[in-house]
Amino acid sequence: MIPLNQAVGSTQETELRLACQEVRQQISSGHQEQIAECVLARFPLLQNNTEAEIEVIYAEFDARSMQQVVQRETFYKRFPQHRERLARLFHIHDVLGNPGTSGMPEGRFDTPTQRSDTLSALPEMVASAETETPHFENYTIIHEIARGGMGVVYQARDNRLGRMVAIKTLRSSDFDPWARRHLIKEATAAAKLQHANVVQVFEVGESDEGPFCIMEWVPGGTLEKVTQQRTLTATEAAQMLLKIASAIAYAHQHGIIHRDLKPGNILLTHQGEPKVADFGLAKMDPHVPADCSEANQDPHTRTGAIVGTPSYMAPEQAEGRMDQIGPAADVYSLGAILYESLTSRPPFLGSSTLETLGLVVSADAVSPSKLHAHLPRDLESICLKCLAKKSHQRYAAVEDLAADLRRFLDGKPTVARPISRLAKGARWCRRYPAVSGLLTALVASLLLGFAGIGWQWQAAARQAEIARTQKDAAETGRRQAEQQKVIALQQKARADHNLATAQQVVEQFSQIGARYAQNSATEGVGRELLEESLQYYWDIMDLDSNDNQVRYSTALAHHRAARILNDLGRWEDAAQTSHKAVRLFSDLHLRDPHHVDYAFWLLECSFQYADGLRGRGQTVAASHAFATAAGQGEQFVQKFPDELRLQSLLSVTLINWRTFLDKDSPEAVATLQRAIELQEAVVRVDPHGIWPLQDLAQGKDNLAADAWRRGELTQAVFLYEEALALRQKIQAQNPRDPMHQLYLARNLTFLAQVLDRQQQFDCAANRHEAARQVLTQLEQDMQHAYRFRSERIKSDAAFTYHLLSSPRLGELPAHFQASLDRITSMANEWPDGNRFPRIGVDLIRQVLDGLNQADHLDVASECKQIARPALQVLFNASSPPASLADLDDNQLRHAIYMSTRFRTLAIRLQLPTVVTKSTLQLAGLQSVAAIRRIPKHVMEVADPILQADYRIER
């Protein structure tokens, strides 16, 4: 299925949703006529749109199949123009599970996507109810380590041999004859394979707990976890896949096809050696037809069933053509593993199982080189040859794939990308420089010899003397060459040592960053290790500061360190580190202006530095830095037009620079248009990339903000809904990424605020609550992370304003108290800057003003009592300027605003100490403004609205 946001426009998408809903309502009411045609006739925008028509037709088929057996031929006769598409869709409907025929629990699904998602979630729903740990004689269970479609895997200790093992057994809900045969089949298949890169099976048996198999314990995690943290280098990926391919080739030689190869089924030892696991879907004999004997009894191997994991299965596997699944299916899956190793994403990943299957069957994968610059073309060709849609276009056997990987690693021409004889000769010369140099010298000598043979014949004596002289010179040259060779080898060894050291530290740094991002409880240890890692980088710089690779690794480390320091609220440290990264990448770019990685990271670090300046309130410097980065980005995009990441980063930079411009100015309008143009171009090439979708969603946010500011609330709601649909698609692909959850919550908050302005209070309340639920979970998971707690505070403030104007006024005092508690806590924890005191004073003032204007005097009195201690804490936590003379005009303006607000509120809340101190501060600030002859109206600060900081955080 094609995603709705690609197949139809947003207005059409709304009509499509209404049309499908009407179809289901009519069928649930008992209507039996041809409903899809009638509904399509009432929605003219959906007519002549193939994808929309098929969605409506499928909605009728799906709803009817909930009540009765549906005759497909009636749909084919009614819609002959869509017969082929409908047949494929009905087929996928069947093999993914029909509640009427597959024993699934009955229920209603609003869309095909929801049905697919619900069906795929059922195994986890069943698993959550099974918590009892089994008992096996001679083995002590340590803990559960994995739970799959029907099996559970435990880490255990073999009490007889004193070794760690893995035990796989069935879940109690799967103790049926087929499931037992399935587990025995998997163990039998794996036990046949005595290979270094296959997980070994030690024992198969049955106990009171059911059938089980005892397997080798592989403690290093999975390849999937590695690719989630980083991309492998081309050499690492090729070496890894070569070992996996050798294991699969060995399996094929023993008549076993795996059929479920994926990074999650590749286990790693502590040394990083891969081992293939999970032969649960293995086909025991590639020459036995799928409809014979045992296969007929196996619901996962019968003809027409889809087996495997959608993102990694071959097209013939995705379409359920079991009789066509052979070794080429495993070749395809190996190509998908190679693709993810190089790009950290599978070749195809839709927002649902249905969509992913459709992409596998009909779409072409984005070339890995578009996602990973400088990827060797030979390795990319190997990867894409494996991913060919037609099985005969792939490698004929896994052995052929392995042979091509060896050719790549040896620097030889590959079958996937043949080259000319001249190029072959050039590669041979590069592999064997000494021999090729001797041959070149020999040929040159022969040519010279033949050219002078005439006169040398007549001067034989003289020639003999010349020959002796040349022999002596050649010997001298040979000795000099050997000395130069030794020197070159020594220099290369030193460079290799530097590079290896740098790469080792970068890897250590990446692991530290990942640990911090995933587990806030290790914040203190993370900081110490971070500082230690940075010291390693400084040591490397001192060791060899002219090595480009070392300088590149060091600059990248500074960039990552600055990002994490910023997340921790250490803004000054982040600024210094970020500025150092800009200088290092600037130097690298000057050294090699044609190196695209240097250009990209220079732009990324320039963006980071500008964003840090803005975060510390240095708006003039930040505006200048963003403008510089934007101009730099335009040059890079022109120079490297095929680099999607540069286009995406430039769009982000433009959107952030625009926050400093007059929103109605031609420059601001053109800047936003250019940013969205870049974003849409990137999404067209990579429609499922998470960051391109995120950047486009942010562009929609900015358009919505403009509409909101102009008072065009309906248009603002429409654009925020579009952005929300994009972010929900991102969330479906990557549900655990905290940054994407933060963007989703922010989007919901903005939408809720506009709905509040429209007085659609019920809808607004739903959006507010959804945002707060997301942020509550984030705050629990990332309790020490500044960014997530800060966003929760903004969301709480927005909800407080909602309660102020909605019929739920009685809830306001309690929520007002909770909001101020959060704000004062953050103000004390992060005293650097006045952002939290400002949020607090604005919230207090607007709540009290709103209650007084509405004559809610009792509630206003209660809120005053809540605000008194909070204002005292906020004033104490605010940072008064140390030196008034050092303030720029913007900082002076902000300081006057804060002092004025504190003084006014302190008078209302009867806090004499705050009144006195804020009055003195304000007098000093106003005297500086008078000395600078700044007009008073320039110093007046408009009340902030909690609309948004419409920037993109990378």
* pLDDT score at 703: 87
What pLDDT, in 10s, does the model give residues 511-525?
A: 555 444 444 444 555
Q: Calculate ∠ Cα 830-831-835, nearest 5°.
A: 85
* pLDDT score at 96: 47
CATH number (domain holding residue 194): 3.30.200.20
* Structural domains counted in the chain: 3
pLDDT confidence tier of residue 463, bands split at 50, 70 and 90: low
Q: Are residues 198 and 239 in the same domain?
A: no
Residue that is last in its domain, among 375, 395, 416: 416
Q: Are residues 205 and 232 in the same domain?
A: no
* Identity of residue 616: R
In a domain? residue 715: no
Q: Quote the CA–CA distance of 888 and 85 in Å, as a whole number.
A: 65
What pLDDT, in 10s, does the model give residues 875-894?
A: 988 866 656 666 777 777 88
Q: Which of 170-174, 653-657, 869-873 has the lowest mean pLDDT?
A: 170-174
* pLDDT score at 185: 64
Q: At what angle do helices 738-757 and 786-805 cross, to 10 degrees?
A: 20
Q: Are residues 394 and 288 in the same domain?
A: yes
* DSSP states of 784-829: T-HHHHHHHHHHHHHHHHHHHHSS-GGGHHHHHHHHHHHHHHHHHH
Q: Are residues 121 and 31 in the same domain?
A: yes
List Cβ neighbours of 150 (8 Å cut-off, separation of 6 or more): 123, 170, 171, 174, 179, 182
Q: Which of 83-92, 226-235, 303-312 has the lowest mean pLDDT?
A: 303-312
Q: Quote the CA–CA distance of 437 and 358 in Å, as a whole number.
A: 54
- Examine the pLDDT at 197 and tell me if it is beyond 90: yes
Q: Are residues 303 and 408 in the same domain?
A: yes
Q: Determine the 3-state secondary structure of 274 from DSSP.
A: strand
List Cβ neighbours of 587 (8 Å cut-off, separation of 6 or more): 551
CA distance from start to end of the chain: 31
* pLDDT score at 13: 64
Six-digit token string for 483: 């000395």
* pLDDT score at 75: 86
According to the per-residue pLDDT averaged within each range, which of 65-69, 238-242, 568-572, 880-884 is highest? Answer: 238-242
pLDDT confidence tier of residue 831, bands split at 50, 70 and 90: low
* pLDDT score at 951: 41
What pLDDT, in 10s, does the model give residues 148-162?
A: 656 788 899 988 888
What pLDDT, in 10s, does the model give residues 205-220?
A: 777 767 888 899 998 8
Q: Which of 350-364, 698-712, 913-927 has the lowest mean pLDDT?
A: 350-364
* pLDDT score at 740: 83
Q: Are residues 154 and 33 in the same domain?
A: no
CATH number (domain holding residue 344): 1.10.510.10
Residue 85: half-sphere exposure toward Cβ, Cα within 13 Å: 15
For 61-69, what is the mean pLDDT? 75
For 340-352, what is the mean pLDDT? 86
Six-digit token string for 358: 């459709």
Q: Quote the CA–CA distance of 61 and 70 in Å, as a whole number.
A: 7
In a domain? residue 146: yes
pLDDT higher at 187 or 439: 187
Q: Quote the CA–CA distance of 53 and 47 in Å, as a whole number.
A: 7
In a domain? residue 755: no
- Mean pLDDT across the chain: 75
What pLDDT, in 10s, does the model give residues 374-418?
A: 889 899 999 999 999 998 899 999 999 999 999 999 888 888 876
Six-digit token string for 414: 């590959």
In a domain? residue 262: yes
According to the per-residue pLDDT averaged within each range, which of 448-452, 741-745, 812-816 is highest? Answer: 812-816
Closest CA to 56 of 103, 97, 1: 1
Q: Are residues 266 and 373 in the same domain?
A: yes
pLDDT confidence tier of residue 423, bands split at 50, 70 and 90: very low
pLDDT confidence tier of residue 654, bands split at 50, 70 and 90: very high
According to the per-residue pLDDT averaged within each range, which of 137-146, 509-518, 707-716 is highest? Answer: 707-716
* pLDDT score at 635: 94
For 356-383, what is the mean pLDDT? 86
- Examine the pLDDT at 689 and tell me if it is beyond 60: yes
pLDDT confidence tier of residue 788, bands split at 50, 70 and 90: confident
* Contact in structure between 130 and 150 (CB atoms under 8 Å): no
Q: Are residues 303 and 350 in the same domain?
A: yes
* pLDDT score at 445: 43
What pLDDT, in 10s, does the model give residues 14-59?
A: 677 778 877 877 776 666 667 888 888 777 777 777 878 888 888 8
Q: Calculate ∠ Cα 634-635-637, nearest 5°.
A: 65
For 443-469, what is the mean pLDDT? 47
C-beta atoms surrounding 619 within 10 Å: 18
In a domain? residue 643: no
φ, ψ dihedrals at 134, nearest 5°: -75, 170
* Contact in structure between 320 and 305 (CB atoms under 8 Å): yes
* DSSP states of 168-229: EEE-GGG-SHHHHHHHHHHHHHHHT---TTBPPEEEEEEETTEEEEEEE---S-BHHHHHHH
* pLDDT score at 530: 53
Q: Are residues 260 and 393 in the same domain?
A: yes
* Contact in structure between 267 and 218 (CB atoms under 8 Å): yes
Residue that is last in its domain, among 394, 416, 438: 416
Q: What is residue 916's DSSP assignment? A: H
pLDDT higher at 793 or 425: 793
Q: Are residues 257 and 302 in the same domain?
A: yes
In a domain? residue 518: no
* pLDDT score at 192: 73
* pLDDT score at 448: 41
Closest CA to 639 of 580, 685, 675, 589: 589
**Domain around 370:** 223-416
Residue that is last in its domain, among 81, 97, 125: 125
- Examine the pLDDT at 474 and tell me if it is beyond 80: no
In a domain? residue 454: no
Q: Are residues 165 and 73 in the same domain?
A: no
Q: Quote the CA–CA distance of 261 and 197 in Å, as a whole number.
A: 13
Q: Are residues 194 and 278 in the same domain?
A: no
* DSSP states of 91-149: HHHHHH--TTTS-PPP---SSHHHHHHHHHHHHHHHHHT--PPP-BTTEEEEEEEEE-S
298, 299, 303, 306 alpha-carbon torsion, rounded to 10°: -130
pLDDT higher at 593 or 52: 593
What pLDDT, in 10s, does the model give residues 531-566?
A: 555 555 555 444 455 667 777 877 887 787 777 666
What pLDDT, in 10s, does the model give residues 712-733?
A: 899 999 999 999 999 988 888 8
In a domain? residue 192: yes
pLDDT confidence tier of residue 620, bands split at 50, 70 and 90: confident
* pLDDT score at 437: 47
Six-digit token string for 596: 């695209």
pLDDT > 70: what percent of the chain? 68
Q: Quote the CA–CA distance of 250 and 158 in Å, as a whole number.
A: 29
pLDDT > 90: what percent of the chain? 23
CB burial of 258-281 (b: ≥16 within 10 Å; e: otherwise) equals bbbbbbbbbbbeeeeebbbbbbbb
* Contact in structure between 276 and 196 (CB atoms under 8 Å): no
pLDDT confidence tier of residue 223, bands split at 50, 70 and 90: very high
